[in-house]
Amino acid sequence: MGHVANCVSVVSAGWEEDIGRREEMEDGFIFADCFGGKKDSAYFAIYDGHGGRQCVDYITEHLHKNLLLEMQKAIGSVPDAMIRAFSDTDRNMYNSGIQTSGCTACSCVLQKEEGKDRRAIYTAHLGDARAVICRAGLAVRLTSMSDHKATDKEEAKKVVEAGGTIFNDRVNGMLAISRAFGDHQLKAPALPNDVVSNVPDITSTELTDEDMFVIVACDGLWDVLDDQESVNLVLEGIREFMTAVPDQSVNRPLMGQVM
């Protein structure tokens, strides 16, 4: 059963989780309406854990708080703040004693740009969590095209340059992704260098009147449906809703209906 919440910064936000065949749900998510006290800002993210819940619970609680602190310092750009927040949160987690579990991440900041009428969405990701926006019915990838898998040639090159190896399509024969929070057995000080990186790929996208909704999901979705198939599924749900409840107006842009 899905969940939907009415919001201030966006039209609405909905979420769904499914444990699948796992014995323990290791995923986490967060939606922070009016991020930083601004009515036109929001933070939303999904974290896909592995090796236990310790890492994903820590990231869910602390990453957005550290990001807000970095953004309030007014030092550099939002992408700069994201990089610092990712690094600081990963280091602080290690210092707290969480050293073995890990998680992927896809974090999005929606805010109005200074001096501009439109809002922009900043997206930072580690691993194969992904964000896609529906623009005039078409899927547009917000995150970079790389899912940071060990099988990616560019990612594998970075792993080897850091002193790691790719064995059985895994970093040091252990991890299928090359970037993640946690997994400190594959980072300094356990190793001379961070074989698995905590530096996210970051994109910035200015929103348009054609933008309807954003999908943020982990590989539980993307391993089954591609970007456009996922967008089509949501569009079908919206059409079914409009047919069932015809008096509900859905003719304004639905940007921020985060699924």
Q: Which pTM does this prediction carry? A: 0.88
Q: How far is the C-alpha of 29 from the C-alpha of 122, rounded, in Å? A: 17
Helix (H) or strand (E) holding 119: strand 119-126
In a domain, 250, yes or no: no
In a domain, 258, yes or no: no
In a domain, 134, yes or no: yes
Half-sphere exposure of 156 (CA within 13 A, CB side): 12
Helix axes 54-72, 78-95, angle to 10 degrees: 140
Whole-number pLDDT of residue 109: 96
Whole-number pLDDT of residue 26: 81
pLDDT tens readout for residues 107-121: 999 998 777 778 899
pLDDT tens readout for residues 50-73: 999 999 999 999 999 999 999 998
In a domain, 252, yes or no: no
Whole-number pLDDT of residue 234: 92
Whole-number pLDDT of residue 131: 97
Which class for 80: exposed (0-12), middle (13-18), buried (19 or more C-beta within 10 A)?
middle
- Any idea what the Cα angle at residue 256 is, between residues 24 and 34, rounded to 5°? 85
pLDDT tens readout for residues 136-146: 999 999 999 99
**What is the number of structural domains in the chain?**
1
256 in Cβ contact with 35 (< 8 Å): no
In a domain, 49, yes or no: yes
Nearest to 119 by CA among 7, 13, 253: 253
In a domain, 85, yes or no: yes
pLDDT tens readout for residues 157-181: 999 999 999 999 999 999 999 999 9
Return the structure tokens found at 92: 């602080």
Q: How far is the C-alpha of 171 from the C-alpha of 150, rounded, in Å? A: 6
In a domain, 255, yes or no: no
Domain of 50, CATH number, reads: 3.60.40.10
Whole-number pLDDT of residue 252: 41
Domain of residue 180, residue span: 3-16+25-244
Q: How far is the C-alpha of 220 from the C-alpha of 58, rounded, in Å? A: 21
In a domain, 221, yes or no: yes
Q: When comparing pLDDT for 242 and 166, which is higher?
A: 166
Q: Characterize 94-120 residue by residue with b for buried, 16 or more Cβ atoms within 10 angstroms of its Cβ, and e for exposed.
A: beeebbebbbbbbbbbbbbeeeeeebe
pLDDT tens readout for residues 192-211: 999 999 999 999 999 999 99
pLDDT band per the 50, 70, 90 thresholds, residue 244: confident
